[in-house]
Amino acid sequence: MPLKETIDANIKQAMLAKDKVRLTALRSIKSQILLAETAEGVSATGLTADQEQKLLIKAAKQRRDSAATYKEQFRSDLEETELAELAIIEEFLPQQLSEADLVEKLVGIIQRVGATGPSDLGKVMGVAARELAGQADGKRISEVVGHLLNNTNF
């Protein structure tokens, strides 16, 4: 079932359950899908699964960033709302890699591209970002790659 149909079904369930936070998050996702579908260059058949996943990743990142900002401003009420919406969005994303799995995959990528030190960060990140899209946050991937390349005893 395409993401848009899944979101529509979940919106109906949230309306019946009177779950305002879930309803707000789902409506936000639907809005982003509709905007993306009407954007120039999108085929008449709608969004691809990859485009839908990128849209969800972007929405999740926005919620994470907003929650961090609210935390810095000591606005726990708004932070909790953002984190609740983030949890709902993450239901539609693929399972995130654990720290150990991420390190294991990144070590394999580093060895495959022949990276030897911090100067090869861009080369590794290009491959890692493509292969691990949706499975780990780009910032987290970058931090682990930087750490691994600075400690080249893997």
CATH label of the domain that carries residue 117: 1.10.10.410
User: pLDDT digit string (tens) for 55-93?
Assistant: 998 999 999 999 999 999 999 999 999 999 999 999 998
- The reply to whether 106 and 142 lie within a common domain is yes
Contacts of 103 (CB under 8 A, 6+ apart): 144, 148
Provide the mean pLDDT of the chain.
88
* Rounded-to-integer distance, Cα 73 and Cα 67, Å: 10
Q: Left if phi > 0, otherwise alpha if psi is -120 to 50, otherwise beta: which for 18?
A: left
User: pLDDT digit string (tens) for 2-49?
Assistant: 888 999 999 999 999 999 999 999 999 999 999 988 887 766 677 888
Give residue 25's pLDDT. 95
Report CA dihedral (6, 11, 13, 14) to the nearest 10 degrees: 140
Give residue 152's pLDDT. 60
- Structural domain for 27, as ranges: 3-90
DSSP characters for 79-92?
Answer: HHHHHHHHHHHHTT
- The reply to whether 8 and 75 lie within a common domain is yes
- The reply to whether 62 and 22 lie within a common domain is yes
- The reply to whether 30 and 103 lie within a common domain is no
Give residue 39's pLDDT. 80
